[in-house]
Each structure stands twice: as structure tokens, then as C-alpha cells.
């Protein structure tokens, strides 16, 4: 299956590279600056597709090792980032060339334009079709590459037909600018998606407060700390969570872990790490240096004061300040009782 997936990118790469060579030759023969400029754009696409093929193959075939403990799945994401940047640079270049042609219109060889446009639609259409079933962000960006080129060649075909009957050479650069503006907007959105994953932003559709509340509602859970969810790739997610519990036996801890795993069962997770810790032991360790201050209190006050102190500490107070505030609140609470 991995070989089949990378082969689709491989086919798209060789199709695009072959057509780029033919396109450049056709542009030189026809004297069409637009086609020559687009051949440079397609050459950049070929580089991006080649990188995509390499990174996709790497991410699918290589397992984790000492250097990459999560494996090579993010190599595909790196390729998506490079592809998006290449597309943006290519679109900006075509925009620049289009402005120049508006200022100085030139009539190309229309017959060559029609032939190259038809070939371009066929070659890029085949490449896009080979990649259309890809789920990874890299495959999606590569598909955008080829669909953008297919639509671009459709526009060239339409313009060349118009130019065949009417002498309006300015239509070509105007249409090229419109298409590339659309490409810039669309690929910018995809680039933001890639950057969000690299910055380990919480994936779309993941409600962290709701997941945290579900864990807190489980029997035996006292606190949920250090709860992190991020995307390893666009599909796969990683979850780490520290759960502070009541005093539980080994069997009860195992059951609780299974219940916490079930909270994430609807997420496509690559790794879920759950760290259970006895809440009382955690509080004792957290304020062990302030043990002398606690020893003068009765057990009920100590227990309640530590719970309040932990909350104050998590809100930014020093341990000493948090403990004093915790003791004050615990004594006030017990007096009310």
C-alpha cells in the first residue's frame, strides 16, 4: 500500500517533468513568453513533486529510530510546506510576467498555443487524477499543484481559441493574473494549515476543555494537569496527560487508564501517554520543603490546605505564598462547617 501511494506521486512527477521539457521547447518555437514563463513555473512544480515523492516514500516506508522517535511521518508535512512555498513563488513570478505582458502585449503563435494547451490539460489532468485519493496534506498540496496547472492550461486553451479569431493579445496576461491571484489565496490557506501543525497547535475539531472535563468526571480522578494535544501529521494526533488520582490499587489504576483511553477513542491518535499519580503523594512532594509549616496543623486542615495551595501555585503564586493562602482558606472553610 505504501509503495502504491508513493508511486502515484512518482508518476505525477515524471509526467510533469516530461511535459515541462516539451513546454519549454514549444514556448521557444512559438515565441510565446507566457508559455516560456509557465514552463519555468512547471519546472518548479516538478522539483516540488520530486521532493514530494521522496518525502512521501520516506514517511511511509521508514519506521522510528534513535534520531526520529516518532518516525518519518512529518517528512510528508515538510514536503507540503516546501510545495506551498514553491507554488507561492511560482504564482508571484507569473503575476510579474503578466504585468509586463499587459504593458507590452505580444501576439504568440496561436496554433502552437492550442496544441500545447491541449497537451498540458491532458498531462496535468492525469497527474491530478493519480493523486486525487491522497489523504495527507502533502498529497493535497501536490494535487493543488496539478489542478492549478490544469485550470491554467484550460484558460490558455480558451484564450488561444479567442486569439485564433480575434487579435486581442492582452487577454492572455489578464487571465493569467486572475488565476494566479486565486492560487495565491488558496495556497496561503494551506500554508497556514502546515504552519499550525509545525507549531503544535491543537488540531481542528479537538475540544480540549471538553476532553479534560470527561476525564475529571471519571471515578477516582482528582486533577488533570499537563494536558497536551497536537498533530503529528494532518491525520494523526498525539496526546499526553498527567492525571492525579485518589489512592488506587494496581487493578483500579489499570481500569482507570482504560477509561481515559476511551475518552480519546474517536480521535485518530498515533500516541496516547497517560501518567497516573496519587494526588496526596503529589501534594506532599510538591510542598515537602514547607512540611514544617504544615506539621502544626491537624490532618483535616493539612489535607484541605494542600489542595487549595496547589490551586494557588498553579495560578502563579510561589510555593510559600500558595501554602499560606491555602492554609487561610482551609481554616476559613472548616470554621464555616
**Strand stretches in the chain, DSSP E:** 221-231, 237-245, 269-278
pLDDT at 6: 55
Q: For the chain, where do the domains classified as CATH 3.30.70.1350 start and end?
A: 202-284
pLDDT at 2: 45
Q: For the chain, where do the domains classified as CATH 1.20.1510.10 start and end?
A: 2-198
d(CA 231, CA 196): 9
Q: What is the pLDDT of residues 232-291, one digit of tens each?
A: 887 789 999 999 999 889 999 999 999 999 999 988 898 899 999 998 888 888 888 888
> Which backbone phi and psi does 248 adopt, to 5 degrees?
-125, 150
* pLDDT digit string (tens) for the chain, length 337 residues: 444 455 666 777 787 788 788 878 877 777 666 676 667 667 766 776 777 677 667 666 666 677 777 777 777 777 777 777 777 787 787 788 778 878 888 777 788 888 888 887 887 777 777 666 555 555 666 676 667 777 777 877 888 888 888 888 787 777 777 777 777 787 788 788 888 988 999 998 899 999 999 999 999 999 998 899 999 887 789 999 999 999 889 999 999 999 999 999 988 898 899 999 998 888 888 888 888 888 888 888 888 888 889 889 888 889 899 989 999 998 888 886 5
pLDDT at 1: 45
d(CA 328, CA 305): 8
Regarding the domain delimited by 2-198, which CATH topology (the fold level of the hierarchy) does it fall under?
A: Alpha-lytic protease prodomain-like (1.20.1510)
What is the Cα 249 distance to its own chain's centre? 40
Please give the model's pTM, rounded to 2 decimal places: 0.68
Cell of 154: 484550460
Cβ density class 188-220: b for 16+ within 10 Å, e for less: eebbebbebbeeeeebeebeeeebeebbeebeb
What are the CA-CA distances from residue 114 to residues 27, 98, 164, 227, 235 (Å)?
12, 19, 9, 58, 41
CATH number belonging to domain 202-284: 3.30.70.1350
Question: Contacts for 21-29 with beta carbons within 8 Å, 24 or more apart?
Answer: 22/116, 22/119, 23/116, 23/120, 26/112, 26/115, 26/116, 27/116, 29/109, 29/112
Amino acid at each position: 500500500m505504501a509503495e502504491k501511494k508513493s508511486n502515484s506521486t512518482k508518476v505525477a512527477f515524471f509526467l510533469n517533468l516530461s511535459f515541462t521539457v516539451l513546454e519549454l521547447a514549444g514556448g521557444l518555437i512559438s515565441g510565446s513568453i507566457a508559455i516560456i514563463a509557465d514552463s519555468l513555473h512547471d519546472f518548479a512544480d516538478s522539483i516540488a513533486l520530486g521532493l514530494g515523492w521522496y518525502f512521501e516514500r520516506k514517511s511511509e516506508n521508514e519506521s522510528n529510530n534513535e534520531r526520529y522517535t516518532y518516525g518519518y511521518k512529518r517528512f510528508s508535512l515538510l514536503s507540503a510546506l516546501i510545495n506551498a512555498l514553491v507554488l507561492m513563488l511560482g504564482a508571484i513570478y507569473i503575476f510579474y510576467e503578466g504585468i509586463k505582458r499587459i504593458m507590452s502585449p505580444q501576439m504568440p503563435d496561436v496554433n502552437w498555443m492550442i496544441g500545447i494547451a491541449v497537451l498540458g490539460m491532458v498531462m496535468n489532468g492525469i497527474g491530478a487524477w493519480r493523486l486525487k485519493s491522497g489523504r495527507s496534506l502533502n498529497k493535497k498540496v501536490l494535487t493543488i499543484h496539478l489542478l492549478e496547472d490544469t485550470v491554467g492550461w484550460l484558460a490558455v486553451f480558451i484564450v488561444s481559441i479567442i486569439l485564433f479569431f480575434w487579435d486581442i493579445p492582452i487577454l492572455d496576461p489578464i487571465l493569467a493574473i486572475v488565476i494566479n491571484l486565486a492560487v495565491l489565496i488558496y495556497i496561503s490557506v494551506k500554508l497556514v494549515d502546515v504552519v499550525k501543525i509545525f507549531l503544535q497547535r491543537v488540531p481542528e475539531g479537538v475540544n480540549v476543555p471538553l476532553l479534560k472535563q470527561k476525564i475529571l468526571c471519571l471515578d477516582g480522578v482528582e486533577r488533570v494537569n499537563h494536558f497536551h494535544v497536537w498533530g503529528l501529521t494532518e491525520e494523526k494526533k498525539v496526546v499526553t496527560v498527567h492525571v492525579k488520582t485518589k489512592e488506587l490499587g494496581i487493578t483500579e489504576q489499570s481500569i482507570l487508564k482504560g477509561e481515559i483511553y476511551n475518552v480519546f477513542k474517536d480521535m485518530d491518535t498515533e500516541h496516547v501517554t497517560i501518567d497516573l499519580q496519587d494526588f496526596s503523594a503529589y501534594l506532599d512532594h510538591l510542598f515537602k520543603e514547607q512540611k514544617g509549616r504544615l506539621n502544626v496543623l491537624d490532618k483535616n486542615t493539612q489535607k484541605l490546605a494542600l489542595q487549595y495551595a496547589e490551586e494557588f501555585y498553579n495560578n502563579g503564586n510561589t510555593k510559600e505564598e500558595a501554602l499560606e493562602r491555602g492554609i487561610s482558606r482551609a481554616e476559613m472553610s472548616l470554621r464555616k462547617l
